[in-house]
């Protein structure tokens, strides 16, 4: 059940505020009956008419994309760069859940389900995210100790659930590090390693909660199953 103005706004017909005006003006019918109450809630499959025209409610869609480099996680870009939603063949108004940087690759969820997006992006939902970071430099035992204790960024401690060096190239002086965190602040992984003077030269997200990239190649995507969507809703904290 959703508020009527939210159902109208989610259909893309107009903004929530304009939908409220239409409702108050008596221009909206639900299942044949005029509704003027702003608080009224209705199921997603109700029949909404605005000024006599039936509204089409958008079906919820859920995608798991292997994001390539050179795509931005946004709905539009002033610099005219490629946008992740261009990679998905749909007419629905989907958007990414959280962000990966322009040059970050890997697992990204996209949806038009605002409720699920809010649940997953809420700091309390604590979805574990695992990244592979290629570093310019080699982590010392002290660096690893600091990482395990948690790194303070902008006065807020970022807890690092797991960190391990997967590959070390002593000649090129690089480490490939797997790191798991729960939070989603912008550029957080890059900032963690920058704080140790080991800049990240390549970053990819390989896991998001229970979801993995599996066999998806760069730019490929798949639709999430109903069961996966149900499990993602399970991150909701009461």
> Interface with ligand URA by CB under 6 A: which residues?
100-101, 104, 187-190, 203
- Looking at the Cβ atoms of 19 and 147, the one nearer to ligand URA is 147
Rg over alpha carbons for the chain, rounded to the nearest Å, is 22
- Looking at the Cβ atoms of 190 and 198, the one nearer to ligand URA is 190
Q: How far is the CB of 195 from ligand URA (least distance, A)?
A: 12
Encoded tokens for 50: 């605005």
- Looking at the Cβ atoms of 5 and 104, the one nearer to ligand URA is 104
80 is catalytic: no
Q: How far is the CB of 101 from ligand URA (least distance, A)?
A: 4
- Looking at the Cβ atoms of 90 and 125, the one nearer to ligand URA is 125
Q: How far is the CB of 205 from ligand URA (least distance, A)?
A: 6
Q: How far is the CB of 65 from ligand URA (least distance, A)?
A: 14
From 77, 80, 101, 143, the catalytic residue: 101
- By annotation, the residues acting in catalysis are 101
């Amino acid at each position: 059940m959703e508020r009527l103005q939210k159902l109208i706004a989610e259909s893309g017909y107009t903004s929530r505020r304009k939908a409220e005006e239409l409702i108050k003006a008596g221009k909206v019918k639900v299942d044949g009956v005029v509704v003027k109450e702003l608080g009224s809630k209705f199921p997603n499959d109700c029949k909404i008419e605005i000024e006599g025209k039936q509204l089409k409610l958008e079906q919820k869609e859920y995608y798991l994309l292997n994001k390539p480099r050179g795509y931005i996680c946004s709905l539009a870009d002033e610099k005219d760069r490629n946008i992740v939603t261009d990679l998905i063949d749909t007419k629905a108004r989907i958007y990414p859940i959280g962000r990966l940087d322009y040059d970050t690759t890997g697992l990204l969820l996209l949806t038009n389900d605002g409720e699920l997006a809010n649940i997953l992006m809420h700091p309390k939902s604590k979805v574990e995210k695992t990244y592979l970071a290629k570093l310019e430099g080699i982590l010392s035992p002290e660096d690893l100790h600091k990482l395990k204790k948690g790194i303070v960024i902008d006065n807020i401690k970022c807890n690092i659930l797991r960190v391990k060096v997967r590959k070390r190239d002593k000649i090129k002086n690089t480490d490939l590090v797997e790191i798991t965190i729960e939070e989603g602040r912008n550029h957080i992984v890059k900032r963690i390693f920058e704080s140790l003077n080991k800049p990240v030269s390549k970053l990819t997200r390989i896991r998001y909660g229970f979801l993995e990239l599996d066999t998806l190649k760069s730019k490929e995507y798949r639709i999430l199953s109903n069961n996966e969507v149900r499990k993602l809703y399970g991150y909701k904290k009461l």
